[in-house]
A and B are shown apart, each in its own frame.
Chain A
Amino acid sequence: GAGVSQSPRYKVAKRGQDVALRCDPISGHVSLFWYQQALGQGPEFLTYFQNEAQLDKSGLPSDRFFAERPEGSVSTLKIQRTQQEDSAVYLCASSLQSGGETQYFGPGTRLLVL
Chain B
Amino acid sequence: QQQVKQSPQSLIVQKGGISIINCAYENTAFDYFPWYQQFPGKGPALLIAIRPDVSEKKEGRFTISFNKSAKQFSLHIMDSQPGDSATYFCAAGGEYNAGNMLTFGGGTRLMVKP
Chain A residues in contact with chain B, CB under 8 A?
A: 4, 31, 33, 35, 40-45, 48, 50, 55-56, 59, 91, 93, 95, 98-108
Contacts and interface: CB of A to CB of B under 8 A. Distances in A.
Interface of B: 4, 6, 32, 34, 36, 41-46, 49, 89, 91, 93, 95, 97-107
A44 B2 CA distance: 11
Contacts of A4: 43
A41 B34 contact: no
A108 B100 CA distance: 20
A101 B89 contact: no
Given A40-B107, A41-B106, A42-B89, A105 B99 contact: no
Closest 4 CB pairs of A and B: A42-B104, A105-B43, A48-B99, A55-B98
Contacts, number: 69
A108 B43 contact: yes
A44 B107 CA distance: 12
Given A4-B43, A101-B34, A106-B43, A44 B104 contact: yes
B97 A56 contact: yes
A101 B93 contact: yes
Given A35-B104, A42-B104, A100-B100, 12 more contacts: A42-B91, A42-B107, A43-B102, A45-B103, A55-B99, A56-B97, A56-B99, A56-B101, A93-B43, A101-B49, A102-B46, A108-B42
